[in-house]
Structure 1
Amino acid sequence: MKKKTSFSTKGHRADIGDLTIYRILANRYADAVGPFVFLDHLVPQIPSSSMMKGTGAHPHRGIATLSYILEGEDEHFDSAGNYAKVYSGGIQWMKAGNGIIHDETLNADSRTGNNYIHGFQFWINLPSKNKAEKPEYLAIQNNEVPKKKLSDDGGFIKVIVGNYEDLNAIIPNYSKQFLYHIQLQPGKNISFFIEEKIEVAAFLPAKNATLNDVEFHGGEFVEFDRNAGEIVIENKLQETTDIILFGGEPYTESIVAEGPFVMNSSAEIAEAYRDFHAGKYGKIDYDKSE
């Protein structure tokens, strides 16, 4: 049996400086999909010399941030002393744990000459026991992301988080979770069986796709019901299309989110701010890049 759509919606503008960004999650219908509590879509654009290409230094606590860069390069700094660049197709993953400050700067891919930047940032909510752990960081280049071609030249699937068949993501799991990038060739399809109660949603970054016999448009976020069932994704276009499919088991602890912090109580949010202002998250050493 195919899963039913619970709702579909489009994001709202949440620009950072001159970067054009659409906030996809949270939205007016859903605060989370499994452990995922946030999704921003940086739409394809050419950065200019006057554009603010970075997010600026800011703190996080209680989550893992995941930046997936389709096009461009992403330079990461943090107050734990981590520094790296990832390029088109790469991932920046950071477990904020008990508190960290980071900064990401986006630019055109210096290795390929492609002038566009395009990507996503997800926040993955951590179980309460992991919120108290020390920060961790991974820079994952495109060729390190588990990927396989689909049968009959149907396209590909990349496993950003979780697993799919014999593919296992490098990023650690703190609960049952998955995040896939699927590209389908014209006339091709792929199907997934989703277990009972697993929360799952799809996002179409640019072009249309047909999900369980219903055509959705580029820019749409689609969430499905909680019943066990199949999701069939079809490409009925005359060109390739991309789909982001993600979700996981429900987050059963209380969630209190404010600004860059996602905790389990208002008292923990207040403590996160106090610790930040007291300088307990450290300071970024930008000389690491030299």
Structure 2
Amino acid sequence: MSNIKNIIPERAADIGNFLVGRLLPFREKRMIGPFVFIDHMGPIHLKMDENFDVPPHPHVGLSTLTYLFEGSIMHRDSLGTEVEINPGAVNWMTAGKGVVHSERTPPKLRDKEKSLHGLQIWVGLPKELEKMEPSFNHIEKEDIPTWEENGIEYKLIAGECFNRKSPVPVHSKLFLLELKSKERRKVNLSDHLFGESGIYILEGTIITEDISYEPKQILVAKDHKLCEFEMGKDTTIYIFGGEPFDEMRHIHWNFVASDKTIIEKAREDWKNQRFPKVPGETEFVPLPN
């Protein structure tokens, strides 16, 4: 019997001037552990007169994780943060009761040809922390735990796993792992995962029970204790999940909450521009109907 409960395909979504591949939420699986939203950005090549620009927009009730494979993004937020994220580093912003940020091509690249490729991830907050003070953390590539085992390169981007802990300051029990294989290799993660788990195939192949799975889809496991598979040659995957929350999470636009009244208040506050401002920014993304 297969241990795969759901197969989630990557679907095209428009985020303004940029098309992404939407992975979560999915109609048959809204969350995986505390993970509520995953977008695959790119890969895309931008011309000299093209830039990635997402004007100031708000969030509540979640943490955002930006992880790039290629290119760079300038992050600015209402806390006064201004930092450029580059491949392998992690931007971790906890919105809590409310934060506003923009994401743009850095000034030094705006008149040059450039590429962009990466993951944008939202992680829900525990109910008791949904209205916490917002915060921002930037973790450099060199500070992310990496190791090699049985010919597979591992990277613990966030959370705890394999008796290791990422410096990303998460707020619940979760894990986000990167695995890379140059040759076909067997993997057994049964003793290391917990809660719910999913595998996103970025490139290459996953083989389980004589069935091959290709890129641009998430495989959701029925039971993390049976997480055994093979990675094909030149394969990169992301394994993520953790302990699910007791309460469901509502998602509306950029807002996540266990209580719909929190989302409605956030809508009204953004509509009436009561959120804090991003220093140096005058544009904003209007509230969708």
Do both share a fold (TM > 0.5)? Answer: yes
In the alignment, does 2:198 pair up with 1:201?
yes
Could you say which residue in structure 1 is the equivalent of 2:254? Answer: 260
Q: Deviations over 1:161-195 (max 9, x none)?
A: 11222431112232211111111121223220168
Could you say which residue in structure 1 is the equivalent of 2:275? Answer: 281
Could you say which residue in structure 1 is the equivalent of 2:207? Answer: 210
Compared CA separation, residues 114 and 231, structure 1 to 2 (3 A):
farther
Could you say which residue in structure 2 is the equivalent of 1:184? Answer: 181
In the alignment, does 2:52 pair up with 1:61?
no
Structure 1 counterpart of 2:70, which letter? E
In the alignment, does 2:230 pair up with 1:231?
no
Q: Deviations over 1:45-84 (max 9, x none)?
A: 2122343402221000000011111111121100111111
Q: Does structure 1 retain, via aligned residues, the 8 Å contact 2:8–2:218? A: yes
Secondary structure at 2:202 match in 1? coil
How many Å separate the matches in 2 of 1:109 and 1:233? 43
Gaps of 5+ in 1: none
Gaps of 5+ in 2: 282-289
Structure 2 counterpart of 1:162, which letter? G
How many Å separate the matches in 1 of 2:115 and 2:15? 17
Aligned length: 279
Pick which of 97-106 and 228-237 moved more: 228-237
Q: Deviations over 1:179-236 (max 9, x none)?
A: 11111121223220168971111111232222454310011111111x3523123223
Compared CA separation, residues 89 and 211, structure 1 to 2 (3 A):
farther
How many Å separate the matches in 1 of 2:108 and 2:242? 32
Structure 2 counterpart of 1:286, which letter? G
Could you say which residue in structure 1 is the equivalent of 2:240? Answer: 246
Give the Å deviation of 1:104: 1.3
Q: Deviations over 1:108-141 (max 9, x none)?
A: 997xx99432100110000122111110101122
Could you say which residue in structure 1 is the equivalent of 2:164? Answer: 167
Could you say which residue in structure 2 is the equivalent of 1:97? Answer: 96
How many Å separate the matches in 1 of 2:54 and 2:48? 15
Compared CA separation, residues 269 and 194, structure 1 to 2 (3 A):
farther
TM-score when scaled to structure 1? 0.88
What is the RMSD computed on CA atoms of the aligned residues?
2.5
Structure 2 counterpart of 1:64, which letter? S
Give the Å deviation of 1:258: 0.8
Secondary structure at 2:226 match in 1? strand
Q: Does structure 1 retain, via aligned residues, the 8 Å contact 2:206–2:213? A: yes
TM-score when scaled to structure 2? 0.88
Compared CA separation, residues 259 and 166, structure 1 to 2 (3 A):
same
How many Å separate the matches in 2 of 1:15 and 1:107? 21
Give the Å deviation of 1:101: 0.5
